[in-house]
């Protein structure tokens, strides 16, 4: 399929409206992801969530676009072999893709597709296989990931939800870092703890969390989550003044579904790692926290 015949989904706001508020927020996430690993730069990042429909595919696609806009040569890989989504977002064919690479002797170059965004390429899933987990456990997939990291500046992988299937845990062992997407008000505490425990068992490098779907008028519009403390800033409150939020009000663990989903994701910037701050000051705003939630959090 030619690039001219592609039609971007309206959710790819970083390409369609790069100066919008949502685009600027995702750029903040990009900047903080860059600082999440100093000693060893991240070359490959996968995204997962607890359940379906939490916005992980939209977030990783927009994040990949911002990296490409910054001049990086970026590849976006759809590894959700059970429910592929990236080909729909970018308006491209999914007849050939990653499964063809793994099952043939051809190189990945024959299956990678260009996009309307300069420097951004997409490797779709291809035909959905009957044994997704076995394909992701194969040596061929591990070899493919290493080859892609050598050929591109950044490789982003869209993984399935961690609480639904084991695919995301398998993918986490093949990438340098994982981003966890949580939609506000739709994930219960026990679900999140169970999902993060699965990532702990495979020693996944979770570089942070993205809290998605927070209304702009919410007191958690600027949200920072780290260790055992939750802080919230209202839009009318100076950032130098913080107040402790009650644990029952933590948007990570709200179970009510009264808020209507917004057409575009509302993202928060990630938290800078402790080595940069030396424990002396807190980030001004953020929603990616360094580490994995525990039962005590």
In a domain, 270, yes or no: yes
Whether the Cβ atoms of residue 254 and residue 220 lie closer than 8 Å to each other: no
Q: Confidence class of residue 274 from pLDDT cuts 50, 70 and 90? A: very low
In a domain, 289, yes or no: no
pLDDT at 99: 95
The number of domains in the chain is: 1
Q: What is the mean pLDDT of residues 168-194?
A: 88
Tokens representing 242 are 């913080």
Helix (H, G, I), strand (E, B) or coil at 204: coil
Q: Confidence class of residue 217 from pLDDT cuts 50, 70 and 90? A: low
Q: For position 196, which CATH number holds?
A: 3.40.50.300
Stretch among 38-47, 79-88, 157-166, 254-263 having the lowest mean pLDDT: 254-263
- Residue 271, pLDDT > 50, answer no
- Residue 259, pLDDT > 60, answer no
pLDDT at 52: 85
Residue 224 φ/ψ, nearest 5 degrees: -130, 130
In a domain, 291, yes or no: no
Provide the whole-model pTM.
0.72
pLDDT at 140: 93
Given CA atoms 58, 59, 60, 62 in this order, what sign does their dihedral have? positive
In a domain, 170, yes or no: yes
What residues make up the domain containing 172? 3-277
* Residue 282: alpha-carbon gap to chain centroid: 23
Q: Which residues contact 116 (CB under 8 A, 6 or more apart)?
A: 3, 6, 8, 15, 90
Q: What is the mean pLDDT of residues 108-116?
A: 95
Q: What is the mean pLDDT of residues 229-257?
A: 40
- Residue 146, pLDDT > 70, answer yes
* Average pLDDT in the chain: 77
pLDDT at 41: 82
- Residue 15, pLDDT > 60, answer yes
| Opening angle at CA 268, ends 264 and 270, nearest 5 | 140
Tokens representing 66 are 């911002």
In a domain, 12, yes or no: yes
- Greatest distance between any 2 Cα atoms in the chain: 60
């Amino acid at each position: 399929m030619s690039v001219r015949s592609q039609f971007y989904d309206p959710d790819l706001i970083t390409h369609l409206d790069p100066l919008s508020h949502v685009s600027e927020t995702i750029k903040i996430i990009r900047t903080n992801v860059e600082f999440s690993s100093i000693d060893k730069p991240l070359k490959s990042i996968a995204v997962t969530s607890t359940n379906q429909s939490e916005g992980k595919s939209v977030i990783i696609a927009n994040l990949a676009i911002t990296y490409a806009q910054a001049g990086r040569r970026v590849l976006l890989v759809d590894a959700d072999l059970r429910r592929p989504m990236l080909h729909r977002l970018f308006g491209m064919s999914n007849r050939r893709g990653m499964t063809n690479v793994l099952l043939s002797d051809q190189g990945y170059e024959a299956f990678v597709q260009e996009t309307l965004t300069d420097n951004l390429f997409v490797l779709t899933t291809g035909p959905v296989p009957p044994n997704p987990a076995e394909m992701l456990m194969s040596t061929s997939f591990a070899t493919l990931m290493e080859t892609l990291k050598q050929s591109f500046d950044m490789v982003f992988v869209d993984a399935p939800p961690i609480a639904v299937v084991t695919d995301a845990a398998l993918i986490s062992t093949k990438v340098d870092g994982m981003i966890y997407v949580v939609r506000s008000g739709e994930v219960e505490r026990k679900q999140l703890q169970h999902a993060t425990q699965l990532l702990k068992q495979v020693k996944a490098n979770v570089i942070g969390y993205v809290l998605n779907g927070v209304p702009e008028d919410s007191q958690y519009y600027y949200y920072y989550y780290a260790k055992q403390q939750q802080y919230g800033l209202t839009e009318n409150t100076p950032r130098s003044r913080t107040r402790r939020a009650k644990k029952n009000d933590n948007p990570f663990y709200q179970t009510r579904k009264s808020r209507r989903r917004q057409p575009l994701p509302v993202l928060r910037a990630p938290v800078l790692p402790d080595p940069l701050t030396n424990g002396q000051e807190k980030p001004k705003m953020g929603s990616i926290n360094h580490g994995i939630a525990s039962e005590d959090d």
